[in-house]
Structure 1
Amino acid sequence: RIPAGLDWPHAAGVPLAGHTAWQALVEHGRIEHGQKVLIHGGTGGVGHFAVQFAKVKGAEVYATASTESLPFLNELGVDRAIDYKTERFEAICKDFDLVIDLIGGDTQARSWQVLGEGGRLVSTLTMPDAHHPQAAGKTGTRFTAAPRGDELAEIAGLIEAGNVQVFIAKVFELNEAEQALDFLAGEHVHGKVVLRVSE
């Protein structure tokens, strides 16, 4: 069932991105109230849900984005928006409990530095390097989201209650799939990109 108040494009933007964000935080990240969480790529389809879910769970939330995207991060309710173009997140974040990595590469490797003892690095991209010099006493995991009806119902409840908003960056027609991919490759995607199959 579509959450009350959502049209078809917004409803279509929820399942995959919502499941991915929820499972990163809850299932793999084991997020708890009062913990400190850093989310890389906090303005995209998965990231904008992750920021909001983490706040709902009572976490202190930091997130990275480009200069142009910082206002959107603040709109989502982050406790600290980090400009990855001008700031080093590892100089700002110390003894964090959880990092959600939606970027990969060097960003992922540097993320070990911000975690405290027992901290968790969760990625949707590549498996974090457990042999990294700063990974001792910490855990890393990579996962692919799985659909779960009960989880989707809980997410829908948060949306209907007004605790979580669905942001759509842009809607493309199905025959514009290539343009949609090009759009996603840009730096300033705010929310989910949706392909419309038919009216």
Structure 2
Amino acid sequence: MHKKIFALLLPIASFIFHQGCVSKVSKTEKQVVTETINSNWLYWRGADGTGVSDQTGLPTDLNKSLIWTHDIQGGGVPVIAGGKAYQFGYYGTTDDLQEALVCFDASSGDVLWQKRHSDFISDIVYNRYAVGAACVDPASGNVYFQTSPGLLIGYDSDGNKLWERSLMEEFARLTFPNGRTGGPCVDGHLVIIHAITANW
């Protein structure tokens, strides 16, 4: 039994990247971070990873409470922090396809900024792009996401690029026709992702 489990887990690699943006956190800042986590949707499937919100008084009929929409493709889910909504998705088809991280004003739906990335050297079927989510660091407000072909990118909340890593080129991260990048998570000063690599 252990050999089978080991064989299934061996090709999966976890990568941890240093954000370079968080130093010592005082007790007051820790309280602010906790409040931020509790009042926002910072990660794919929410703060506790269940996909369920503890909020009460939410609308029961989404058609009647819809305040704005935006036309973007993909299976990604939005994350929300500091009055901004971040959506991972894509525009176009085949040759003109570009994945995008789009930042909206959560109240009005106005696009505040967007970053588009073309595919390179992957075998993803076009309608399987952008299956995942960004994540927001509750301490800094920085946003991190991974594109389908394996770029891991950090932005500040104003859309300024902090850093970029090519997981395919640096770590032999593989792509597959079904896409599914998932979502990074932040733990203190670390950005943690999972990926399947060729080094197994």
TM-score normalised by the chain length of structure 2 = 0.30
Based on CA coordinates, which of the two structures has the bigger radius of gyration? 2
**Between structures 1 and 2, the one with greater helix share:** 1
Which of the pair is proportionally richer in strand?
Answer: 2
